[in-house]
Structures are given as structure tokens and as C-alpha cells.
Structure 1
């Protein structure tokens, strides 16, 4: 009987210890209040992302971080769109690709994956080929701007990874693209 009482006492003690060691931390009211002030003080034209702010960039101040992370830079554009059944890079993306070429030329250790995509119209094989032609068109422009061929990787997903699953012209336009993945 006494051994049953001791076992019961140890069980209760163990239960109390486990319950007392909750893994849910106490909410720090001062920290959450500071976060609210930070979000409220960002103002129009500025964004706050986990302590990082784009305020300096939006006010014309110099960007101190990685140029690839600057939301005001042409390097922030990482998707090149194409016309229907075309692999020719649109003129509106030439400056974007020049900026990426300059970055890659000045950072020879960096590689860039060019992922070609197509919309769902056409056969699977045709769309794989079209995605590859689009990625290679971007590759040729980057190489013409001085990027080393060893920094560029071309892959085609064809229609297999759509940006939009809708079945209309707006969706198809989003799916005709090359994504630049660092």
C-alpha cells in the first residue's frame, strides 16, 4: 500500500513539473507595442519587413545591402515576359537584363538559373522547346553583355509550372516567361 502511495506521489510530482515547464513563452507586451509603432511609423511609400525598411531607397538614399535585394533596382525584376508563341525578348526588358548582366559581370562567383516557361496551349513537347528557346534568348543577351557562360544555367519547364492556373489571356500572359533565379 505504501509503495502505491509513493508511486502516486511521484506521478503527481512529475505531472506538476511537466505542466510547469510549458514551452509557450510569455508574451512581451513591450515588444509587441514596439512592433506596432514601427509598422505605424513606416508611412506611405515605405515598407517594413522584419526590421528592414525600404525607407532609404524610397527617399533616394544609398542602398547599403546586397544589390539583388534593393526593391528600387532593376535587379529586383526577376521575371521576363514573352509574347504568344515568341522567344524574342521584348524591348521593355532590355534594361533589366543589362542590369543583371552588369551585376553578374562584377560578381563572377554568382550563377544564375534561367527557367523558361510557356502557357498551356500547344503540346507538352512544343512548350518544353519554347521554354528552352526563351531561356536561351535571355542567355544570349546576357552573354552579349559580358556574362560568362559558366555563370548561366538554362532549364525549361514548359507548361509544367504555371504562375497562374486560370484559363484566360491574362493567365497565359503570366505563364509565358523566363524566371531569373540566383
Structure 2
């Protein structure tokens, strides 16, 4: 290495050393005056606020437990698939006593408005009766019929009709805003 290169490197090193900042002083320790009281604070609860944590939400109920049961044409009889969903709903409602439920009865677009409102009401009642028979407090459940007024699918074929013959259980945390 020639002298010019050594001088340039030495200058760069001195410039870098001048830019270096001293280490920051160590932060003083944090003293918790309550740490010695009662052996310290130990949280043993649920960070999500419910008996089932993240499972105690309306979103969990809708997506995992299942909020919809389907019915055969012009029927209010619960199928075995519907009873399986309703058994899960009853178990969830029993474990989450702060939630109330509104059961919405629906029908397909065929038939008169009056017939479909009555059919939707009977479907909602069938679901309510099943949940009550499974031990859910009847005071936590209401029913509502939309008949054919709020279809899940809008078209005129059997695939759509089948999706519209349903009862939907909508849960609400009655503790919210209370």
C-alpha cells in the first residue's frame, strides 16, 4: 500500500470514530410497589374475556358452530343434518350464557307472501323448540319470519330454492352496552 492510500484509510477511520456516539446510559430499574403484596400479581383469567376465549364470539358461532339449518320443500321437520347443527348451537349457547339468539325463518320465492311468512315462522319455531329441548333458556331466544323477503340466493331454480328454505340463528352478546 502506498502512503496516499494509508493516509486516506486513516482519515476514513478517524472520521468514523468521530461519528460514533457513546452508549446510552442504562435505564433505571422499574420498581413495582405492589409486586411484594400477596406474592405478586398472577393473572389466571382469560385474555379474550369469555369462557371460551375467541370461541365466545358471534363470528365463531356463525363460522364454526354453524348458524343455518336447511329444510325440505314445504317442510318444518328438522333433518338429521339440521339436528346436528342445532345440537352444536345448543351446546355453544349453554356455554355462553351472555348471548341471546334470534332465529330467522325463511322460505323460497314460490308461493304467496302470506304462505311463506307463515312457513318461515313455523321453521323458526321448530328451531326454537329444539334448542329449548336441549336446555337453552327460552327467554334467551326469539323468532322472526322473513318468508321469501330476504333470499340467500336470487334465481329461479331448485339450487337457489334449497338455499332459501332455511332458519338462521343470529346471536348477540347481551352484555354489550349494558
Q: TM-score interval w.r.t. the shorter chain?
A: 0.5 to 0.7
What secondary structure sits across from 2:54 in the alignment? coil
The structure 1 segments of at least 4 consecutive aligned residues displaced by more than 6 Å after TM superposition are none
Q: Contact (CA 8 Å) 1:134, 1:178: kept in 2 or not?
A: yes
* Alignment correspondent of 1:84: 73
Q: Which of 92, 114, 117 matches 1:125?
A: 114
* Alignment correspondent of 1:93: 82
Q: Contact (CA 8 Å) 1:128, 1:158: kept in 2 or not?
A: yes
| Mapped partners of 2:53, 2:122: distance in 1 | 36
Q: TM-score, normalised by structure 1?
A: 0.61
Aligned length: 119
Show structure 2 runs of 5+ residues with no match. 1-51, 172-178
* Alignment correspondent of 1:111: 100
- Bigger RCO of structures 1 and 2 (CA < 8 A, at least 6 apart): 2
What secondary structure sits across from 1:65 in the alignment? helix
The answer as to 2:125 corresponding to 1:141 is no
| Mapped partners of 2:64, 2:130: distance in 1 | 16
* Alignment correspondent of 1:180: 169
* CA deviation after TM superposition for structure 1 residue 67, in Å: 4.5
Give runs of aligned pairs for residues 1-182 of structure 1, distance below 5 A: 65-68=54-57, 69-70=59-60, 74-75=64-65, 77-182=66-171
What secondary structure sits across from 2:99 in the alignment? coil
Which whole-Å deviations, capped at 9, do the CAs of 1:89-148 have from their partners, x for residues lacking one?
111121211111112122222101100000011111010000000000000000000000
| Mapped partners of 2:77, 2:69: distance in 1 | 11
Show structure 1 runs of 5+ residues with no match. 1-62
Q: Which has the larger radius of gyration?
A: 2
Which whole-Å deviations, capped at 9, do the CAs of 1:131-175 have from their partners, x for residues lacking one?
000000000000000000111010000000011110010010011
| Mapped partners of 2:107, 2:123: distance in 1 | 9
